[in-house]
Amino acid sequence: MTEKEKMLAGLPYDAGDKQLREERMHARMLLHKFNHSMPDAKQERVAVLTELFGSYDGGTIEPNFRCDYGSNIYFGKNFYANFDCVILDVCEVHIGDNCMFGPGVHIYTAGHPLNAVERNSGIEFGSPVTLGESVWVGGHVSILPGVHIGNNVVIGSGSVVTKDFPDDVVIAGNPAKIIKHIDNK
C-alpha cells in the first residue's frame, strides 16, 4: 500500500511521504487563493473550492478556511461555514445537506500515537468523521476523529465532541453530552 492508501484506510502512515507533502502543498496553494480573494469574487471562490474538495455543491464558506488536503471533504447541499473553519482531512469527512457551522469550527480526522517515540517518528493515523443532515454546529466546536453525528443535531458553542450522537438531540459541553432531545416531527 502507498502511504496515501494507508492514510485513507485509517492505518498508521508516514505524513512526510513525498506524494502527501505535494498534495498538501497543492491544497495550501488553493487555500491561499481562496482566502485572499476579493469578497465579491464569488465565481473565483466557487471554482477554487470545486477544485479543492471531493464534492462541493456551491455552499458558502467564509474565509479564512483551512484543511490538509480538501479532496477528502464531501459537502452536501446548502452548506454554510462561518469564518475560521478548520477541517483536518487525512481521512474522509462527510457533511450532510443543510448543515451550518458557526465561526471557528474545527473537525479533526488526524491522530497521533500516545507513545512519544512513535509520535516523534512522524507516524500518524486517522479516522473519518460524518455529520448527518441539518446539523447546526455552534462557534468554536471541536469534533474529534471517528465521530459520527446524526441528523438534526444541534451542537452548543465551545463543545468538544469525542463520541457518536444519534439524531434529534442537542449536545454541549466538554466532553459533549446530550442536553435534550428535539421533536422534529
What confidence score (pLDDT) does residue 185 get? 75
What confidence score (pLDDT) does residue 181 get? 97
- The chain-wide mean pLDDT, for the chain, equals 96
pTM over 0.75: yes
What confidence score (pLDDT) does residue 177 get? 98
159-177 average pLDDT score: 98
pLDDT bracket for residue 143 (50, 70, 90): very high
Reply yes or no on whether 148 is catalytic: no
Helix/strand/coil for 116 = helix
Taking only the tens place, the pLDDT of each residue in 80-138 is 999 999 999 999 999 999 999 999 999 999 999 999 999 999 899 999 999 999 999 99
Active-site entry in 26, 94, 112, 148: 112
What confidence score (pLDDT) does residue 141 get? 98
Q: Enumerate the domain spans of the chain.
A: 3-181
What confidence score (pLDDT) does residue 57 get? 87
Q: In this structure, what are the phi and psi dihedrals at residue 153, rounded to the nearest 5 degrees?
A: -95, 140
The whole-angstrom separation of Cα 134 and Cα 99 is 5
Per-residue pLDDT at 144 exceeds 80: yes
Q: In this structure, what are the phi and psi dihedrals at residue 91, rounded to the nearest 5 degrees?
A: -120, 175
Please give the grid coordinates belonging to residue 66: 483551512
Per-residue pLDDT at 159 exceeds 80: yes
Per-residue pLDDT at 29 exceeds 80: yes
Superfamily classification of domain 3-181:
Hexapeptide repeat proteins (2.160.10.10)
C-alpha dist (Å) from residue 11 to 5, 6, 16, 18, 125: 9, 5, 15, 18, 6
Residue of 65, 79, 59 whose CA lies nearest to 37: 65
12-27 average pLDDT score: 97
